[in-house]
Amino acid sequence: MAQNRYIDTRGNVTEPASFRQAVVDGLAEGGGLYVAETIPTFTVDEIVALADMPYAQRAATIYKRFDTDFADETIDAIMAGAYGDNFDTPDIAPITSLDENTHILELWHGPTSAFKDMALQCLPRCFAAAASELRAEGKIDNEFLILVATSGDTGKAALEGFRDRDGVKIGVMYPEGGVSDIQFKQMATQAGDNVRVWAVRGNFDDCQTGAKIVFGDEEFNERLANERKVALSSANSINWGRLMPQIVYYVSSYAQLVHDGKVAAGAPIDVCVPTGNFGNILAAWYAKQMGTPIDMLFCASNENRVLTDFINTGTYDITDREFVLTPSPSMDILVSSNLERQLFELTGRNPEAIKEWMRQQKEEKRFQVDADTFAKLRADFASDSADSRECFATIKEVYEKHGYLLDPHSAVAFKVAERLRGQNPVLVASTAHWAKFGENVYRALHDLEPGEPLPDEMAKLTGCELNARIAEATGCGPVPAGLAELDSRPIRFTQVIDGDPEAIEEAAMEFLAE
Ligand SMILES: *Cc1c(COP(=O)(O)O)cnc(C)c1O
């Protein structure tokens, strides 16, 4: 087979990129997203056979089938590093079955206890290897600064993934006072010689807008190139290199279900995913295209139900939609960037249609897909939302019935799966350990309202102390070490900066000058 190449969703890339180039570029030239020209397939037997290998080898097998421009040994080494003892279980993404037909895919056994680790333990290793090879081949001559604006989870997972990678530095901005005690300590205590964390005066939107302007500031980018031989890059979920590791766990989990005798080989399952940027559920869709016997994909939303409305009507509309802050913040989203790839695929890869819809989304805040695309969407996807009260009630119910604690994101998915499921077994993607969101888990278990203050006795505890209390009271411990030990780690980063681009650029230059 000829080497797989990467085309883009808007048809602007004239010379398709290699895998390594796509990973290093992130976004394609002209604003589109990279997509593999050929999506490989597996037979059910081949999928089932994956269960005989450790997770790292399953991942390597799938990457090799995508025919990347990495040597096989490089892929093996990347996967061995990405999915080894940095996870707290050799299964990497174990499945807990709550009953015969309800299976929870636990994607939070990595170093930061959130599902972002599944991709961000792998992508940075691919990124550093690709950049180093491209430099050696004379195709690039720069190093990289990864700049991330985060509302919490992504920043920590990116820091942990990129720390101590050669040829890369990473700077993360978060809104000052806008993250939980646990999230703050996770970032402020970050280890590594190539990392920096800034609190930004303002909210998450200010951070993100500031970062976007910096990425687009040509003068600054030239200065970085000339003075520091550094190019900016982002670690966000539009990078194809973040999608691939997510495809792996859907293929792998089907193999596991068959291996464990929970599903007959070839029998269909449905998958339910708590969705924000549409990256996780898109990976499940690709896993289906590759031959995994997945029937329906259930897209779960919280009160920010723009995706649910889209899947139910074919119209994406944010003209009159308020951004709601919920207990599942990683699903609080109005514009889902990976939906672009999904639409590209459902239109039979029609870049003209995508270009027009994306223009409408940007300028008119609304677009409607054609009848054929809508029919294809409905064939693969169903969607519903669960609000904050339902989310809390689900956490409590599942705990009382099964002795199992869901985090708020996973609880939204669990509830939606209950509503949408038919005869098939359902695999519910669980995207965070409950202890990342201990305050809301406490509220849920004690019948407090979303946003209601905790009782004084609890409110005065640190996040770690509160988690320890919850673990003790529920028997759902131990809390993962990375979260449990945060109070004893030294705080390394306390710098607060303004959110305007000049301040961010100055902070970045200072960081690079060290
Ligand atoms: C990022 C995230 C999500 C949303 O995933 P998408 O790929 O953006 O759809 C859901 N839950 C948690 C805990 C997350 O961190």
Out of 20-34, 56-70, 305-319, 436-450, which region has the weakest mean confidence (pLDDT)? 20-34
* Residue 334 clears pLDDT 90, i.e. is over it: no
Atom of ligand 1 nearest to the CA of 281: 9
Q: Which listed residue (64, 116, 288, 362) is catalytic?
A: 116
Using the mean position of ligand 1's atoms as its centre, give its distance from the Cα of residue 83 in Å. Answer: 20
Average pLDDT over residues 200-225: 90
Q: Is 442 in the pocket of ligand 1 (CB under 6 A)?
A: no
Give 394's contacts (C-beta < 8 A, 6+ positions apart).
386, 406, 411, 412, 414, 415
Residues 6+ apart with CB under 8 A from 421: 270, 272, 298
Separation of 338 CA from ligand 1 center, angstroms?
A: 12
Tell me how far the alpha carbon of residue 330 lies from the centroid of ligand 1, in angstroms: 5
Nearest CA to ligand 1 atom 2: 330
Residues facing residue 270 across a β-bridge: 426
Mean pLDDT value of segment 87-104: 98
Q: How confident is the model at residue 2 (pLDDT cuts 50, 70, 90)?
A: low
E-strand ranges in 370-501 read 381-385, 426-430, 496-498
Dump pLDDT digits (tens) for 442-495: 999 999 999 999 999 999 999 999 999 999 999 999 999 999 999 999 999 999
Give 274-290 pLDDT, tens digit per residue.
999 999 999 999 999 99
Backbone angles phi, psi at 112, to 5 degrees: -110, 5
CA dist 379 and 93 (Å) reads 28
Mutate to test the pocket of ligand 1, among 123, 151, 242, 280 (most ligand atoms within 8 A of CB): 280
- How much is the average pLDDT of 286-312? 97
Atom of ligand 1 at shortest distance to CA of 409? 11
Distance of CA 312 to the CA centre of its chain: 24
DSSP conformation letters of 106-167 = E---STTSBTHHHHHTTHHHHHHHHHHHHHHTTS---EEEEEEE-SSHHHHHHHHHHTT-TT
Average pLDDT for 79-107 = 98
SS3 478: coil
Average pLDDT over residues 415-426: 98
Rounded-to-integer distance, Cα 97 and Cα 360, Å: 43
Active site residue 116: yes
Does 108 sit in the ligand 1 pocket, CB within 6 Å?
no
Task: Report how far ligand 1's centroid is from the alpha carbon of 277 (Å).
Answer: 7
- Please say whether the dihedral angle defined by the alpha carbons of residues 499, 502, 505 and 506, taken in this order, is positive or negative: negative
**Token reading at 267:** 């029998």
Q: Which of 218, 112, 96 is nearest to 172 (CA)?
A: 112
Give the SS3 label for residue 170: strand
State the average pLDDT over residues 26-50: 95
